[in-house]
């Protein structure tokens, strides 16, 4: 089990003026590597072949849900049409700022907003099979699309995410940055520490034997640090997601990924 | 290392009582407990990924453990490189030697952020466990 235990200390990251300031230890753009890039050839092959990638089951279910009409007789497809066109590159741009709610939301929240507002349907629970299926189906349309995180309205969330990333947390007093900026590529017991670029989400994680969201993956690391978890969709989780996507800007999406 | 001499009373209201200890230079010379540690138990703690967590980061003389970390120095020879007192301070709170260390503070409950409820107010290891770990580490002479 690689549910790693860790910790952080309370060096409150100095006030973040802007996310363009490079922090010490930050990985240079030219040295960034995705989790996919660091995987074994076997795991890469499993991801690349749709018939072997277990996430394909969720993608297929998502495709069905996409064209399923709800009580108001509307399906996602009725508004958005052909996903290959309308959803290309969309997952690569989330979290995004929702002007109506006046806050950043991630892709799962966006899907649930559409259900509530346009389909007159109840939102799916976080990590529910249906929400993961629709997210996987939408994210699949962004394979190869570069990650974009350039909306100025996202800056506060990105800055907050960076502060969290650099803060020591939990009983083990470790920060995300200490592992993912300073020690990527090394072995934490049996696991190679990746750079934590969220290119492949939702992922089929071999350790979970299931599909899971980026938030679930983040909770694994927080749990490892022995940090009190944030609730699903808490502003801290969205901020971390936004910072990680900004940190991975320009990198191609490979969702739905397979990860160890 | 400036010869710091200070006493920490770990006792905070609501927190499990940490025993006071005295740092002299780069060491805690006196054991945290009255009874000597047990090297066998110490070995088991160091090798256990849920208890000591040491092998997540360190490698060490544990042939039977397949997945050992490489974020930290090999523990082989640790007992030759440092005295029991120096090892004790390292385990109790390595940040007193290196503020940027990633080695967790095994006997500290303050200055930590957002500790999970089931661990709050508790040190990672108890005083007895730390003495067991030290009793084991001092046997690692080569």
- Identify the contact set of chain B against chain A, taking CB-CB distances under 8 A: 49-50, 53, 55-57, 66-71, 95, 102, 104-105, 111-117, 119-120, 122, 124
Residue B8 has pLDDT above 90, yes or no: no
How many CB atoms sit inside 10 A of residue B65's CB?
15
Q: Are A257 and A39 in contact (CB under 8 A)?
A: no
Of A4, A166, A173, A188, which to mutate for an interface test with B (greatest number of B Cβ within 10 Å)? A173
pLDDT in tens, B100-114: 999 999 999 999 999
Question: What number of CA atoms fall less than 13 Å from residue A235's CA on the CB side?
Answer: 10
Q: Are A214 and A58 in contact (CB under 8 A)?
A: no
What's the confidence (pLDDT) of residue B66?
87
Q: How confident is the model at residue B6 (pLDDT cuts 50, 70, 90)?
A: very low
A3-13+31-49+147-259: CATH class: mainly alpha
Tokens of B57: 């980061």
Mean predicted confidence (pLDDT) in A41-61: 98
**Interchain CB distance below 8 Å, B104 and A7:** yes
Domains A3-13+31-49+147-259 and A56-140 share a fold: yes
Closest residue on chain B to A179 (Cα) = B102
What's the confidence (pLDDT) of residue A136?
98
pLDDT in tens, B57-88: 999 999 888 899 999 999 999 999 999 999 99
What's the confidence (pLDDT) of residue A13?
31
Distance between CA B36 and CA B134 in Å, rounded? 10
What is the distance in angstroms between the Cα of A134 and the nearest Cα belonging to chain B?
32
- Can you tell me the ipTM of this complex? 0.92
Cα torsion angle, A237, A242, A247, A253, sign: positive
**Interchain CB distance below 8 Å, A189 and B117:** no
- For A56-140, the fitting CATH number among 1.10.760.10, 3.40.50.1100, 1.10.3720.10, 3.20.20.105 is 1.10.760.10
What's the confidence (pLDDT) of residue B142?
84
pTM of the model: 0.91
Tokens of A105: 């939301």
How many CB atoms sit inside 10 A of residue B95's CB?
17
What's the confidence (pLDDT) of residue B3?
34
Domains by residue range for chain B, with CATH: 3-137 (1.10.760.10)
Residues of B in contact with A5 (CB under 8 A): 49-50, 53, 56, 104
pLDDT in tens, A121-158: 999 999 999 999 999 999 999 999 999 999 999 999 99
3-state SS, residue A167:
coil
- β-bridge partners, A170: none
CB-closest option in B104, B111, B116 to A227: B116
CB pairs under 8 A between A and B: 86
3-state SS, residue A241:
helix
Q: Which residue's entry shows tokens 């670029």?
A: A197
Distance between CA A226 and CA B84 in Å, rounded? 28
Closest residue on chain A to B121 (Cα) = A171
pLDDT > 90 fraction of chain A, expressed in percent and rounded:
88
CB-closest option in B57, B114, B120 to A188: B57
pLDDT in tens, A203-241: 999 999 999 999 999 999 999 999 999 999 999 999 999
DSSP of A181-227, one letter per residue?
TTSTTSEETTEE------TT-SEEETTTTEEE-HHHHHHHHHHHTTB
Q: Reduce the secondary structure of A77-126 to three states and give it as a string.
A: HHHHCCHHHHCCCCHHHCCEEECCCCEEECHHHHHHHHHHHHCCCCCCCC
- Going from N- to C-terminal start, the domains of chain A cover 3-13+31-49+147-259, 56-140
Tokens of A35: 């989790």
**Interchain CB distance below 8 Å, B53 and A5:** yes
Q: Strand A103-105 relative to strand A96-98: parallel, antiparallel, unpaired? A: antiparallel
CB-closest option in B67, B105, B114 to A227: B114
Residue B7 has pLDDT above 60, yes or no: no
**Interchain CB distance below 8 Å, B116 and A226:** yes
């Amino acid at each position: 089990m690689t549910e790693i235990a860790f910790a952080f200390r309370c060096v409150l990251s100095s006030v973040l003026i802007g996310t363009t300031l490079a922090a010490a230890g930050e990985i240079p753009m030219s040295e960034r590597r995705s989790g996919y890039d660091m995987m074994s050839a076997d795991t890469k092959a499993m991801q690349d072949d749709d018939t072997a990638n277990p996430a394909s089951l969720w993608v297929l279910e998502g495709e069905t849900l996409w064209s399923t009409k709800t009580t108001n007789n509307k399906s996602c497809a009725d508004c958005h049409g052909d996903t290959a066109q309308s959803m290309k590159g969309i997952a690569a741009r989330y979290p995004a700022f929702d002007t109506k709610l006046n806050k950043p939301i991630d892709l799962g929240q966006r899907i649930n907003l559409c259900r509530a507002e346009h389909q007159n349907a109840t939102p799916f629970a976080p990590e529910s099979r249906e929400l993961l299926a629709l997210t996987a189906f939408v994210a699949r349309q962004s394979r190869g699309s570069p990650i974009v995180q350039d909306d100025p309205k996202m800056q506060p969330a990105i800055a907050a995410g960076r502060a969290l990333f650099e803060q020591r947390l939990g009983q083990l007093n470790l920060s995300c940055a200490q592992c993912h900026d300073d020690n990527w590529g090394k072995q934490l017991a049996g696991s190679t520490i990746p750079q934590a670029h969220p290119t492949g989400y939702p992922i089929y994680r071999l350790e979970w034997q299931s599909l899971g969201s980026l938030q679930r993956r983040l909770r694994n690391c927080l749990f490892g640090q022995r940090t009190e978890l944030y609730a699903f969709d808490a502003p801290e989780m969205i901020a971390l997601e936004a910072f990680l996507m900004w940190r991975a800007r320009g990198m191609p999406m490979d969702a739905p990924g397979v990860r160890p | 290392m400036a010869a710091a001499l200070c006493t920490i009373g770990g006792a905070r209201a609501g927190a499990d009582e940490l025993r006071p200890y005295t740092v002299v230079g780069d060491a805690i010379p006196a054991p945290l407990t009255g009874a000597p540690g047990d090297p066998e138990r110490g070995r088991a703690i160091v090798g256990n990924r849920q208890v000591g967590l040491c092998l997540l980061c360190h490698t060490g003389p544990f042939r039977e453990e397949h997945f050992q970390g490489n974020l930290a120095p090999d523990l082989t020879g640790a007992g030759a490189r440092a005295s029991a007192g120096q090892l004790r301070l390292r385990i109790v709170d390595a940040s007193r030697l290196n503020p940027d260390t990633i080695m967790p503070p095994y006997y500290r409950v303050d200055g930590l952020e957002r500790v999970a409820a089931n661990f709050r107010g508790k040190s990672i290891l108890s005083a007895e466990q730390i003495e067991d770990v030290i009793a084991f580490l001092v046997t690692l002479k080569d």
